[in-house]
Structure 1
Amino acid sequence: MSERSSALTGLARLGFGDLTGADALLTELEGVLGVSRDELTADVAVAADPDAALVAIERVARRDAGAVAAAIREPTSRRTLWALLGASSGFGDFYLRHPEELADLTSAGTVLPEPGQLTAELLDSVGAYEGFAARADDSAWVALRVRYRRMLARIAAFDLLSEAPEEVVPVVAARLADAAGAALEASLAVARTRVSSGGAGTGLFPREQVAATQLAIIGMGKTGARELNYVSDVDIIFVGGAPDDAIEEAGESRFIDIATRLAVQTMRGLSEVEVEPPLWEVDANLRPEGKQGALVRTLDSHLSYYDRWAKSWEFQALLKARPIAGDPELGAAYVAAVQPKIWSSSARENFVDSVQRMRERVTEHIPPDEVAFQIKLGPGGIRDIEFTVQLLQLVHGMSDEGIRQRGTLDALDALVAEGYIGRSDAAAFARDYRILRLLEHRGQLRQLRRTHLMPSRQEDLRVLARSTRLADSGPAIWGLWESVKREVRDIHVRIFYRPLLSAVAALPAEERALSTAQAHDRLAAIGFTDPAGALRHIAALTSGISRKATIQRHLMPVMIRWFADGVDPDYGLLAFRRISERLGDTPWFLRMLRDSSAAAESLTHVLSGSRYVGELMEWTPESVAWLDDPEALRPRKGTVLQEEARAIQSRHDSTADTMRAVRALRRRELLRTAMSALLTDLTIEGVAASLTTITEVTIQATLRAVRREIVPPEDSALDFSVIAMGRFGGAELGFGSDADVMYVYRANGLDPQRANDLALQLVAGLRTHSEDHRVPLDLDADLRPEGRNGPLARSLDSYAEYYRRWSLSWEAQALLRARGVAGSVKLIRAFTALADDVRYPAQVQEQGLREIKRIKARVENERLPQGADPTRHLKLGPGTLSDVEWLVQLLQLEHAAQVPGLRTTSTMDALRAAETAALVPAESADLLAEAWRLASRLRSANTLLSGQTSDVLPSDRMRLDGIGRLLGYPPRSASQVEEDYLRTTRRARRIFEKLFYG
């Protein structure tokens, strides 16, 4: 009992599952074969499924014990036998039919048959000579199929016994394709004999005419690419013909008839049911017109079809075309003739979209219960990799011969070398492709049947894990499969659907490669005003052999087109060059532009549309990365910026270092807001809120830094605050707006003169350290009491005394937008309470209102720049910002004491409150709000476009068109922008005059 238990334990260690059955079979084989159990099981470890292998050996042994015994006694053949039968019941059936073939296993194992050897073996199997076979009856086909499977066993043995089978997938697939080509060549030799007079088959044509008939067999798909599976349809196209003298004698149709019969017989020899099962399906449906088209056409007929009728997918299929059998010269002529058509196919209308739709249709036609198991066609499967690679090749291969490869892995290497796909994505694709193909190969070897499905049974998954050596259990191999699918699908979606492919495909052919003179003329024609300068920038970006230059060469044709579509192509290209030089060889930059056309197009849009953005981006080049992340383009919240500003202060001891970092923070966030304004749906209110927040955080950080430097600990009781005024106080800043402010302090027991001196030093420090020559921040204190003649800073008591005794109506009006933004919170509250008493009086004096109206009229006459057209001034012109704001402020002074909604620093909020209180008709409020928003948008757009602050709507048509495009108008809309502005402000002015002066 103990001996039997020990024996069964040993079998379990060897990998057997059915221990009792295996023990019985081994006992039987020991007697039948005359070999010991130890010798029988010496190499069982290489069997993926030892139980199945043992059953297969026992079945064959019952038929021919001598053949099996000879194979078991020879170490090489024994090891190969266990590997083959442990991975493939199909080979078990083959050796059951032909046990004599076991003798060949001594030649199998670690050596892969060469292509020439495969061809010689299969031609020998039919006794081929001079293109004909010695035998033409059905026995020739049987002999061919048996010899093919002998060769297939040698390939499989090499594959199964490899230490890292995923690494040999390419060479195994190539040999399988070579074997298919050799089989077609041998079957064609049989076919020639069968259709010749005197042959054992149809015997319809004179032998000399058959010999003169040219028939080229073109491998397509995986066959053409030398990526064939163990059991797969072999896609082919037949091309027929004959020498000119033969055609003159018998006519071309005669030879096409012969070629057609040869093609039919060739296919039958490999695919028709016989004593020996078919090898695989020979599929000629990729020929012109598919199943409905002629099986064989002349070369000219093929070319005529491709020129007139072929669809985009047919050119994608031709990408893999390769002569594999038959007339080599005709085959080479066919491939050479279709090459230009393949590589120009991406220029066809909607080519990329059609390829993408075809991939989607493949997925849609998978039965729902197979989707989770589909290795080839499902999401994340082999097809995702192949379609992605082929689309990149077809789009870019028109102008780049370096990527014109048939094989998927070869094409991936070329695409990496030429910069069309990132190294990490390509490496992942290549690794995953090998894994997926290995899983597919092992699935087909199991029964030597065509399948592309992962097993569903745990036992089958365990065998798959052992045969691939990719995992140590069924669950582990399934987990690997799931992770590969996810990775492949992610890369496929990112690359396959990126619009850059469509953009490149849509480029006119002449723009892909031009001479210098042609390029100069083309650049001028599409909108560059300095084409010579543009050529210099392009040369600087694309010259050299570095990977960076290579990628830039691929990007340039498309990006030049996008720059040309912008407002200022010349500046956009210059800015792009400067940013590229600043970023140097930063890997993420060019990878992002290559892999995300949305980011690339957005970059051209902002650079050619805004000098403000271009100049800031040059100093913050890492901001380019935001273009690939919608979240990064959103203006950041004040709390986040406050935390960063405080962290800056904690890291730096000196005010100069602190402020250098704070200025960088401000520039960065101004840039983010500008880019968001250009690229997203950020409203003018959103822009104003963001710019106001950035300014507040900058002033707060500056005040903290300056106070730390100026106010000693013994004077820390001093309270000091900054009060925002004007559009800053109303949180209505635009690009280029000044920051109107007032300064207030409270001594809190300090000597009054000391407190005043410290306050003035703080003001001076604020004004000095907030200066930024790149993006000026002007702290304008002209709205303080007494204007420019008044002290820069006052104590709270001084403000109270002034407003009680001397305040003028315009000063009360200015306080309507006063809002504390920095410094002592308690002091801000106290100042706000003081301001409320002044700006929201219980009773308003009529004289004060008349004075405000008088000042408004004087401002319109005196404040406009000399020579400026009043109707084009966005701030002071009729119906613009000034009109709307003064009207709203007048209503606030009159009614805020009774209408709480009017107690706000926001112009638009106050206008809506006035509408709610029936102080302004709803339609009038809408028109006023429209005018205010349009003037604000135009003012900011003017700054974004030119990089300079201006309150005047330009009359220059190009600048006006540029402003309009920033506002979302179509190109060449300068007149429309102007008309909309003048119409809107005219209507607003009529309402203003009626309500303000009436």
Structure 2
Amino acid sequence: MLDDDVLPRAGLPEALKDTAAQACQRLNQTLAHMACDDAALAAWQALPAARRAALVRTVTISSFALDVLVRTPVVLHELLATGELDAAPARAALAQRLEKALAQADDEESLYRAVRRFRQARMLGIIWRDLNRADGYDVWDTTAAMTALAEVSLEATLAWLEAFYAPRWGRPAPCEDGSAQRLVVLGMGKLGAGELNLSSDIDLIFAYAEDGETRGGRKALAHQEYFTKIGQKLIAALDSVTADGFAFRVDMRLRPLGDGGPLVGSFAALLAYYQDQGREWERYAMLKARPVAGDVVGGAELLRGLRPFVYRKYLDFGAIESLRGLKTMIHREVKRRGMETNVKLGPGGIREVEFVVQAFQLIRGGRDTELQQTSLRAALTRLPALGLLPQKAVDELLPDYAFLRDLEHALQALDDRQTQRLPDDAVVRAQVALALGFDGWEGVMTRLGEGRERIQHYFDDVIAEPEDEVEDDSDTPGLEQWRRLWRGELSAEDAQRRLAEAGFDDPAEARKRLERLHHSRAVQGMQAIGFERLDALMPLLLDALAQNPTPDAALPRVLPLIEAVLRRTAYLALLRENPQALEHLMRLCAASPWIADQLARYPILLDELLTPASLYTPASKARLADELRQTLNRLPEDDEEAQLEALRVFKHAQTLHVAASDIAGTRHLMNVSDYLTYIAEVILDAVLAMAWKHLVRKHGVPPGIGRDVPDFLIVGYGKLGGIELGYGSDLDLVFLHRATKGATDGRRPVDASVFFTRLGQRMIHLLTAVTPAGSLYDVDMRLRPSGNAGLLVTSLDAYADYQRTSAWTWEHQALVRARVVAGDAALAEGFNAVRREVLGRPRDRRALRDDVVKMRRKMRAHLGSRTRATFDVKQDAGGMVDIEFLCQYAVLALSVEAPALLAYSDSVRILDTLAKSGHLPDDQAQDLREAYLAYRSTTHRAALTGDRARVAEGTFDAHRRAVKALWARFLAPPADSDGRDRA
């Protein structure tokens, strides 16, 4: 029995002494009449002092716990015997216990009774542990226990109903693949998150895999009817209020069309609904969807099908508008109903933390798959690593959110009632304070106020309107004028005057362009939400154009991008939400039509404008490789289409970074080529790995070759080999493998030579296949042995033999610029040895000179300028290719004397080595370096501006003279009779 001495030991505040005394009196009266179970009574009488104090604390705070013990005092003996007062039972043990109880139920009435009594006993244990926390116990232990209780109850009840009604209704027909069909129960909200409250509703959606009819019952039912009946029975078994109370309140309103829609839908119907009619709030709800009972495997398959609806491939800033709308609606309802003291819906409450996390999930979850978490806690902790929230913010939000959930649990533990409203009654406040470990209500409110203030701060940072950060744009005269101009509310004269004041040299043409867009069929046919986004963006865009020094150039380049995203209006929202991104867009488009074209073709690149630090700072090769590895690791290994799409987006995005830094002048010219080359190398690494895995899965591996490391080599020639890639450069490649004989060891064996040929073909396909995201690279394989007539893939031995015995001089010139860019390290050493041997052999310099000059003459005849008014910086005499030929000649002619020339494949370092070895005076080497870099800079800029790499005659006279002088020294053949240089 509970004597008077137990009250002081319970450590209760004065305000709760009467409440505790009344609770003890009720328990004593119950125990006095308890004679049906001697063991249970003995357990009560043998309670140690610490247990009695915990008991008094529990029943003083929780009327629900007191009522359970008064109605069924034997439950305390059960919880003591199973250790449930100290730790949650394992999931399997919990399920076994309920299944055993339900095995005794022979009708629905006894089912209801068993489920409710089981739930009450578990709830008593959960509340006890929550109110008397052991070391290390926290709110997440309580939510996990509640989630497990709900899932076990759902599964066991559903299984009982299926078996009970099988004689009458039969069982569903199997799926086409032969697997059994059961009701799919999706948990939504906090149940789906695995973070269920003490007294929360369980939000559910029901589904089934395929249509058909039941079998084995007295009457065959269509699957739709069968699963509807089973679903209705499941809801009633949990939700109905009986003499034993309820098990779980069930809310089905999140299903398609809510209360007006069918209770259960087939997978096909649900997928069609969400694709065609799914609304933004349903995406928000689906973030937490998780199979919790029934056909869990089928439920996971359904959610995989719904993933594109929930998580968009691009950064979806349109979602934030929907969250703002939902926030506004909730705040309006909170104010109307006087719910400011509601810890869930009020300012700085639980819902605002959820909005912060779910905003990032909706916006970025399609790209950053780490955010595809049903658990808010798990998703929140992943934000700092992705650079979306500082670690300090998470370190503050997580404990503040945990406190709010603890406070919510304390309120709900009182009467097992779903409430989040702060109490007015002094006794109830004292109970809540005691539950939370505070001396009084004042401490609770101080902690709550501090937490709410921090939450509101972060909430406003993430969800606030972009103009809210500065000023309301409706009060900004400039933006209002731009809005009127865009809408056609200004006269032609006023519109042109406004454009002229903004710096347009041809305001009439600018006005016509804007009018054409506004009245275009694409704009007029937009849905309402899309048109609203465009209407909100255009004044901001025009204002950003006005800040640009060359608005006449920027406008015609940026409008095709706007036209390209009219049907993908999340990008319109992205630009509106991020004024800095709009500013960078104007800057880049004004500077480069190439960038403008890339953005219009691949709007997903707009995402890159959000992070200026990385936009203007291309990544190192190590960081590129790491980023690409992380990106590909997020994707299923067998989803090659998704991997290729990711590779293409990665390539376009990283190239944009290089171009942006090039325009901004933050990178040296050689760094630009270096970065473009790094991008190609890491992509080639990834493509080789993809192709290798594909072929190994299909055919196995050739004899003597490991399965995990591609026994293959990719040699880069030309600009790739010379580390001189430009924008839009193709890749000159040669594929090599280790000579091996025999068949592969897989299920579909092929000869080793066939395996490597298919590997090369697969790589070329992956690199060149065209999709909406473009292709990776154009590939040129003509530099392989025997060119187009040769094998696509050659063994290293055959390659070496060809280079020694059959290669032409021009092929050895090409070998100067060749280097390994991906593949097996041992094979790479073999290739490097062959390259050194072939290039380093003694040569007849006169014959070598004649061959080099002859090849150069052919190139110039076909590719040089046809007029003396311009200078082609690449192909004309004294241009870039002349310098490259000089370097190639020097390596072939002089590496016998200067082996250091064999170390490099790029022209600049070959020139440096010629100077260091004494074969070229320092000043002449410097002249060639400066000329070469000037020419390359011109070709890069021409690519960005959409021009040809030709300049007016006389532009580079000094550089051309220097190149021609060196050409005459090394390569000029004997003069013709008229004295003219035949080169």
Sort the TM-score into its range (normalised by shorter chain): 0.3 to 0.5
TM-score by length of 1: 0.47
Larger radius of gyration: 1
